[in-house]
Amino acid sequence: MGFMNALFHGLDFSRIQTRRALSWWDVVYPAIVFAVWFFAAGVFFAWLRNRLGK
């Protein structure tokens, strides 16, 4: 953590440290949410491209 503080000129990164270890769900759940959002964005832009006539 000291390296990150030095790299970013004294920004305090200790606030993002958690007191407990991450569980698998803490990693998988955001990945699922991002996948759903990226899929929805892809569907929207594909629809928009087809709507505008390629």
Is the pLDDT confidence value at 45 over 80?
yes
Residue at token pair 């990226």 = 38
Is the pLDDT confidence value at 51 over 90?
yes
In whole angstroms, give the CA distance from residue 35 to residue 28: 10
Write the CB contacts of 14 (distance below 8 Å, at least 6 apart in sequence): 1, 5
Query: Domain locations in the chain?
Result: 2-52
pLDDT of residue 35: 98
Mean pLDDT along residues 9-14: 76
Check if the beta carbon of residue 11 is closer than 8 Å to that of residue 5: yes
Q: Residue 9 corresponds to which tokens in the numbers above?
A: 């000129």
How many CA atoms, within 13 angstroms, populate the side-chain half-sphere of residue 35?
6
DSSP state of 28: H
